[in-house]
Amino acid sequence: MIILFTDFGPGGPYLGQIRAVLHREAPGLAVIDLVSDSPPFDPAAGAYLLAALMPQLAEDAVILAVVDPGVGGPRAPVMVRADKRWLVGPDNGLMAIAARYCATAQWWDITWRSERTSATFHGRDLFAPVAARLARGAAPPGTLRRDGRHAGRDWPRDRPAVIYIDPYGNAMTGLRSAAMAEGRPVVAAGRTVPQARTFADVPPGQAIWYENSIGLVEIAVNRGRADRDLGLAIGTPVEIAAADDEAS
């Protein structure tokens, strides 16, 4: 199975071209479009979203992860053997947090190149063909990085900021609920936001945070839009409230 995690948007020509390549290179294989609206130009935000989604992906999945503002520049194309899964994409941090979740993670440089690789669409010309090969069980077309160096290796395990706005205006953060904030309010855009189990537990219009379905701190306004109502955007800092904030 090949799983797509990208910022290509669901309707445009990029995802369609990738699907056409995968169909040609690995016909009959299941391809699942997991996320196509990861924040554009922002591998760091995507890294924490991808990591939170990893535990539920099939154990032998090949994950094509492409948020690649530096395409055509010096960043390297890589493959990561993360337990029994493969991650394929640019070495810009996007896969760093997901790899860190795993018991074992080996980083490989992709050395294969197609006859004609465009300067701006490595997703189609490089990453998709490599993902198809790996999904067919072929040997990884590259070389193991003995030192394991990669972009994002110094990023923190949690990211105290908004990483994704969903279609309802709910704001996911890069904070894991269990590890970081259970029972504590969070502070975002100057507001102290208490925890609740779900939006259905509070009156319409009230802001809360809860542990979302992938284990992250998520801020919502019941039947409202947290992004608009609270002024949240990708990158807005979200902090755990200090003890005296809880009393206020």
With 0-12 / 13-18 / 19 or more C-beta atoms within 10 angstroms meaning exposed / middle / buried, residue 211 is middle
Tell me the closest approach of the beta carbon of residue 20 to its own copies, in angstroms. 6
Q: Is 30 in the site for its own copies (CB under 8 A)?
A: yes
Angle at 16 between CA 163 and CA 43, to 5 degrees: 25
Q: Is 9 in the site for its own copies (CB under 8 A)?
A: yes
Burial 29-59 (b: 16+ CB within 10 A, else e): eebeebbbebbeebbbbbbbbbbbbbeebee
Whole-angstrom distance, CA of residue 7 vs CA of residue 71: 13
Phi, psi of 230 (to 5 degrees): -105, -5
Binding pattern for the stretch 96-135 against its own copies, x by CB under 8 A and - elsewhere: ----------------------xxxx--xx----------
CB-based contact 190:207 (threshold 8 Å)? no
Structure-token pair, residue 149: 């160096």
Decide whether 38 or 236 has the Cβ nearer to its own copies: 38
Tell me the closest approach of the beta carbon of residue 34 to its own copies, in angstroms. 4
**Segment near its own copies (CB under 8 A); pick from 106-114, 132-140, 183-191, 206-214:** 206-214
Query: Which of positions 58-77 make contact with its own copies (CB under 8 A)?
Result: 58, 69-74
**Segment near its own copies (CB under 8 A); pick from 13-21, 95-103, 130-138, 139-147:** 13-21
Structure-token pair, residue 203: 């009156």
Site for its own copies (CB under 8 A): which residue of 84, 113, 136, 197?
197
Whole-angstrom distance, CA of residue 132 vs CA of residue 34: 17
Q: Is 177 in the site for its own copies (CB under 8 A)?
A: no
**Segment near its own copies (CB under 8 A); pick from 2-10, 101-109, 142-150, 186-194:** 2-10
CB-based contact 208:150 (threshold 8 Å)? no
Which residues sit at the interface with its own copies, rule CB under 8 A? 1, 3, 7-17, 19-20, 23-24, 27, 30, 32-37, 40-41, 49, 53, 56-58, 69-74, 118-121, 124-125, 164, 166-168, 197-201, 210-214, 218, 223
